């Protein structure tokens, strides 16, 4: 039996994701497709547009067999740690092949790049430092360092976001000696960050989110870009909650925290760095919206994502101490969010030989990562109004995995 | 020249306050009346219904000559510390006579009671401990201890809230050797905590607040109970902000803080006591409103006010370390909120001989108490919506005192 893995956020699931999923099945001839998916908060330091249960349903309805949650402590990290957590979960659940989308589309470029970086590690790190000292932020410095070193080898364009992620996936597979074969699919059309809906079928998740969050925009405006099950799910979601989640729902809490917290306390928060916390405190005093706040805080030295992740950890009160184990360790449990019939059979088959516990109900398993998970989900819940807060938390604590 | 002092909250200013003010002038033959007034947060651990600037205008329009702000570090404390701060301010500004309302109405009862308590201090404290060990909360135990000791002396009923405050005022005058003569006026009609409007002219501030905060209740319903300037002020306030301030405006922030804070961090907050913080965290998880929260947290051991004050210090992130100086020290500055022409002349006359600085603009004076003040006012501001937040803070930082 062939098991393929994908690493996703599905925020929300769109036609590009469906293409990737279908190609994954085709390329790998997989019998079972496992998705490791972020939960309430995403890699860019944002709350998920729709909750994890809704996104799990979208995944299952579009062909995923098993959805495993990527814990917050990995999901909200830079590519390297995000990848480490995700790969360790795929490895634990017995995935044979990882299939990721990239701007490159050639797995050889990934392999070559890793070999190149490994053999130039010292110079590479020195150049990163040099480019950072020139005032570049980390991702930019990494990309410049890499460009400045490479000759005519067949290597990656590491300024592309999906190439960066893929690069870290393949690196994590090597580092963990995971028995997973990586393959990649060329991403089609819309760029990762493209903000506008320009094509009739494929649009970036960012573009779709912007459309969904813009006032007065009807749901129909994104209908062409998402599979029918996603559309139905979004429609039901909007009927229930009237709006979608986002920083706009939680900024007042971040602001309040920044206005009352002392810089000393903020310094213990993960991603705090000398001076940055003071900057956030100062800007929170006057910025009325999250967008205003981010624009005010942004400097050349820090990427938008870096600041947004720090803001998220302040919001969720996630400390450096709490994050430390995630930087070192493999993911210590598999939290099952949902499964298809096929997924269920597979899990029944392997459940007694899994190297880590399979957790269906987080009330029945204890781990420090789940303490973090409970807290951050309490915060996510505050983005809902009235009884929906409790409903979400009930789902979080008491629902069995979704079975399709 | 005769200077009289009053200690007030004016939340809001009503006919009972006007009566007290007029009687104060009559009894003391004062040329100048100085009010020490709480700012954004009040002794019972609540946000003020209308902001301090509006309440200052009410005070001036009804005959007060000088309004001095009682700093948060005194204003949100039990009677003893509240009194210490207020008396030290009145003493600094040169008040000759303090006139307070009480359920007793006889200053001799206050003097007798203090003499009695002083001469029975050891027994008194032992009995308080005893009654607390029986499961009574502190105020109740104090009252029981006192009752159990007293013979037929002409002493106070210390179960009455204004008697308790007055008792602490007179005690503070003694303790500080303040050259202030205390007098008291019998309070008329409405009890301190009376919740309903039963009389055509005098109603308690609590009753008026409840009426103002109840949905659909027209402003006219309280018109009979407040002087015309108050009514006009409230009318304008409501037109500007649509609603009044209260815990209902800030509970979502308290809840968020409780849901993300660790018990260890909460233990450093002022008024934290073993176990109580855990109780608050647990109840915040499910209580959708502040009222629900308080009812859930309330036990026989703690008074409603005690819990509310702790909740307030959590909300404003006020620590034990931060409060310590207030427990020991006299108020270190006089913050002027407003003055009449008469008040202005008096201040011009004495300003060079004041024992502490007179602060008109808090941006031009530095003190740890003002750091606290700034932070708690940032929190109070979050109870306003949109641009009103900034407007309030502008008033707080940039407005000169109100001159009538």
pLDDT in tens, B39-85: 999 999 999 999 999 999 999 999 999 999 999 999 999 999 999 99
* Residues B7 and B100 sit within 8 Å (Cβ to Cβ): yes
* Residues B297 and B51 sit within 8 Å (Cβ to Cβ): no
Q: What CATH number labels A3-103+184-192+329-403?
A: 3.40.50
Q: What is the SS3 assignment for B102?
A: strand
Q: For chain B, which residues make up each domain, given as ranges? A: 3-103+184-194+329-403, 247-322
Q: Is B13 annotated as a binding residue?
A: yes
| DSSP per-residue letters across A94-132 | T-SEEEEEESS--HHHHHHHHHHHHHTHHHHHHHHHHHH
> How far away is chain A from the Cα of B45, in angstroms, using its nearest Cα?
17
- Does residue B191 carry a pLDDT above 60? no
Question: What does the pLDDT average to over A324-333?
Answer: 92
- Does residue B337 carry a pLDDT above 80? yes
pLDDT, tens digit (0-9, with 9 covering 90-100), for A39-68: 999 999 999 999 999 999 999 999 999 999
Task: Tell the residue number behind the tokens 């040169």, with chain if given.
Answer: B94
Helical H runs in B178-319? Answer: 205-213, 228-241, 247-260, 263-266, 276-286, 290-297, 304-315
CA gap B129, B132 in Å, rounded: 5
pLDDT, tens digit (0-9, with 9 covering 90-100), for B244-303: 999 999 999 999 999 998 888 899 999 998 789 999 999 999 899 999 999 999 988 888
* Residues B229 and B62 sit within 8 Å (Cβ to Cβ): yes
- Does residue A188 carry a pLDDT above 80? no
Residue B18 has a pLDDT of 95
Q: Which CATH class is domain B3-103+184-194+329-403?
A: alpha beta
Question: What does the pLDDT average to over A363-370?
Answer: 92
Torsion of CA B197, B198, B201, B202, to 10 degrees: -70
Q: Is B259 in contact with A378 (Cβ distance < 8 A)? A: yes
Residue B189: pLDDT band (50, 70, 90) is: low
> In terms of Cα–Cα distance, which of A11, A88, A7 is closest to A328?
A88
Inter-helix orientation angle A247-260/B247-260, to 10°: 90
Chain B residue with Cα closest to A315:
B260
Residue B80 has a pLDDT of 94
CA gap B288, B252 in Å, rounded: 9
Residue A118 has a pLDDT of 86
Question: What does the pLDDT average to over A173-177?
Answer: 96
Residue A180 has a pLDDT of 97
> How far away is chain A from the Cα of B380, in angstroms, using its nearest Cα?
10
CA gap B281, A137 in Å, rounded: 39
Residue B217 has a pLDDT of 85
Q: Is B152 annotated as a binding residue?
A: no
Residue B242 has a pLDDT of 87
Residue B37 has a pLDDT of 98
Q: What is the SS3 assignment for A175?
A: helix
Q: What tokens does B215 get?
A: 């949905």
Residue A311 has a pLDDT of 98
The DSSP bridge partners found for residue B99 are: B183
CB burial string B145-178: b at 16+ within 10 A, e below:
bbeeebeeeebbebebbbbbbbbbbbbbbeebeb
Residue B198: pLDDT band (50, 70, 90) is: low
Q: Is A375 in contact with B252 (Cβ distance < 8 A)? A: no
Give A255's contacts in chain B (Cβ within 8 Å): 382
pLDDT, tens digit (0-9, with 9 covering 90-100), for B6-17: 999 999 999 999
Beta strands B334-339; B66-70: pairing state: antiparallel
Which residues, at least 6 apart from B185, have a Cβ–Cβ distance to it below 8 Å? B20, B23, B24, B27, B99, B100, B101, B102, B105
**% of chain B beyond a pLDDT of 90:** 71
Q: Which of A257-266, A305-314, B29-38, B181-190 has the lowest mean pLDDT?
A: B181-190
Q: Is B237 annotated as a binding residue?
A: no
CB burial string B94-107: b at 16+ within 10 A, e below:
bbbbbbbbbbbeeb
């Amino acid at each position: 039996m062939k098991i393929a893995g994908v690493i996703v956020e599905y925020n929300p699931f769109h036609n590009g994701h469906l293409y990737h999923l279908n190609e994954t099945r085709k390329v790998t001839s997989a019998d079972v497709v496992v998705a490791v998916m972020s939960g309430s908060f995403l890699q860019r330091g944002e709350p998920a547009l729709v909750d994890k249960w809704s996104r799990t349903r979208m995944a299952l309805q579009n062909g995923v067999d098993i959805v495993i949650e990527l814990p917050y402590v990995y999901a909200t990290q830079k590519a390297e740690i995000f990848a480490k957590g995700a790969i360790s979960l795929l490895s634990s659940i017995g995935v044979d092949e990882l299939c990721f989308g990239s701007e490159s589309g050639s797995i050889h470029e990934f392999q070559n790049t890793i070999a190149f970086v490994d053999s130039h590690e010292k110079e590479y790190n020195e150049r990163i430092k040099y480019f950072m000292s020139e005032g570049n932020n980390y991702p930019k410095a990494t990309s410049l360092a890499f460009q400045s070193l490479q000759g005519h080898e067949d290597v990656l364009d590491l300024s592309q976001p999906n190439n960066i992620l893929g690069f870290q996936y393949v690196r994590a597979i090597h580092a963990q000696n995971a028995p997973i074969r990586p393959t990649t699919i060329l991403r089609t059309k819309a760029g990762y960050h493209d903000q506008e809906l320009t094509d009739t079928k494929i649009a970036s998740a960012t573009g779709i989110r912007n459309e969904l969050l813009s006032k007065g925009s009807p749901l129909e405006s994104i209908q062409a870009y998402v599979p029918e099950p996603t559309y139905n799910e979004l429609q039901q979601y909007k009927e229930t909650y009237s709006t979608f989640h986002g920083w706009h729902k939680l900024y007042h809490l971040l602001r309040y925290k920044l206005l009352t917290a002392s810089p000393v306390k903020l310094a213990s928060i993960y991603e705090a760095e000398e001076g940055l916390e003071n900057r956030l405190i100062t800007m929170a005093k006057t910025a009325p919206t999250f967008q205003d706040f981010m624009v005010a805080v942004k400097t050349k030295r820090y990427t938008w994502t870096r600041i947004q992740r720090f803001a998220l950890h302040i919001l969720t009160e996630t400390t450096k101490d709490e994050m430390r184990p995630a930087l070192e360790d493999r993911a210590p449990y598999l939290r099952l969010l949902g499964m298809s019939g096929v997924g269920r059979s597979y899990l029944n088959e392997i459940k007694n030989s899994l190297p880590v516990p399979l957790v269906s109900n987080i009330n029945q398993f204890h781990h420090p990562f789940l303490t973090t998970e409970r807290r951050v989900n309490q915060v996510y819940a505050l983005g809902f109004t009235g009884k929906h807060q409790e409903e979400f938390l009930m789902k979080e604590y008491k629902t069995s995995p979704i079975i399709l």
